[in-house]
Amino acid sequence: DQQVKQNSPSLSVQEGRISILNCDYTNSMFDYFLWYKKYPAEGPTFLISISSIKDKNEDGRFTVFLNKSAKHLSLHIVPSQPGDSAVYFCAARGNTGFQKLVFGTGTRLLVSP
Amino acid sequence: AAGVIQSPRHLIKEKRETATLKCYPIPRHDTVYWYQQGPGQDPQFLISFYEKMQSDKGSIPDRFSAQQFSDYHSELNMSSLELGDSALYFCASSTNSGQETQYFGPGTRLLVL
C-alpha cells in the first residue's frame, strides 16, 4: 500500500524552464512533507520541506506547494539547471517526534542544456 | 558542514554470513534512523533510536538488530544474510526538536552472493 505516490517516474525539461514534480498522499495523519534529491550511489539530500499549516514554502529556486484538501504537493524548480538532473523523492511524516519518513517512488528529472 | 558518516560504503557477503553497518550522525544529532532501499524501490524505514533507546520500528527482519551507543553512533547488525538483503542501507540523523529534518548519509551498498 503506497501511501505516498509520485505518479510520474520521469520528467524531461529544458534548461531555464520550470520543472514541476508532483506528489500525492493518502494518509491524513501526515502533516510534514519533505523533498529529497538523490544522485546514484549517494544518499538523499534534503531540499525543502513544508508543514501542513502552510500552503507554500520557498527557498531560492525551489518552491513547494501543499494542497492539504487534495492531499497533493508539488515541487517547482525555476529556472531548471542541468545539475538538477537527479531522482527526486517526496517524503511524508506525522507530527510527533521520531516519526519515520514514508517515501514516494521517486521521479527522475532530466534537465537538458 | 559535517554530514552523516556511514561505513563501510560497500560490502560483499556470502549467504548466511553476518554484516555490521555503522552510522555516525551529525554532531549534536541524537536520533538515528535506518532505511533500506532495494533496486528500483523507494527507501523503506527499518528502525530508529533516540538517546540510545529504540524509538520506532518498521519492516525490519528478525535477523537484523540495531543499537545506538553513548556517542550516538549506531550499528545495524545483519545475520543469516539472504540474497534479498542486497540493497542500499541509509542512515539518517536528526535532532529531537519540533519538526526535525532527517539528514541522510551516503549509504552502504550491500551485495549478498
Which of helix, strand or coil describes residue A80? Answer: coil
| Predicted pLDDT of residue A74 | 98
Mean pLDDT is lowest, of A102-111, B7-16, B66-75, B98-107, for B98-107
Mean pLDDT of the region B5-14: 97
User: What pairs with residue B51 in β-bridges?
Assistant: none
- pLDDT over threshold 80, residue B97: no
Nearest chain A alpha carbon to B97: A97
Q: Is A44 on the interface with B (CB under 8 A)?
A: yes
Q: Is A30 on the interface with B (CB under 8 A)?
A: no
Spans of chain A below 50 pLDDT: none
Q: Is B25 on the interface with A (CB under 8 A)?
A: no
Question: Closest by alpha carbon to B92, among B100, B84, B82, B102?
Answer: B102
Question: Closest by alpha carbon to B68, among B105, B96, B93?
Answer: B93
Query: Which residue of B57, B99, B109, B110 to mutate against A (max A Cβ within 10 Å)?
Result: B99
| Predicted pLDDT of residue A26 | 94
| Predicted pLDDT of residue B108 | 97
Q: Residue B34 contacts by C-beta under 8 Å, 6 or more apart in sequence?
A: B23, B45, B46, B47, B48, B60, B66, B74, B76, B89, B90, B91, B92
| Predicted pLDDT of residue B99 | 57
Cβ within 8 Å, pair A46-B104: yes
Radius of gyration of chain B (CA): 13
Cβ within 8 Å, pair A103-B42: yes
| Predicted pLDDT of residue A31 | 87
Residue numbers in B near A32 (CB within 8 A) = 99
User: What pairs with residue A87 in β-bridges?
Assistant: A38, A108
Nearest chain A alpha carbon to B4: A43
Query: Which residue of A101, A103, A108 to mutate against B (max B Cβ within 10 Å)?
Result: A101
| Predicted pLDDT of residue B47 | 95
| Predicted pLDDT of residue B98 | 46
Instruction: Say how far apart CA A58 and CA B41 lie, in whole Å.
Output: 28
How confident is the model over B13-69, as pLDDT tens digits? Answer: 999 999 999 999 999 898 999 999 998 889 999 999 988 899 889 989 999 999 999
Q: Is A25 on the interface with B (CB under 8 A)?
A: no
Question: Closest by alpha carbon to B87, among B16, B24, B3, B21?
Answer: B21
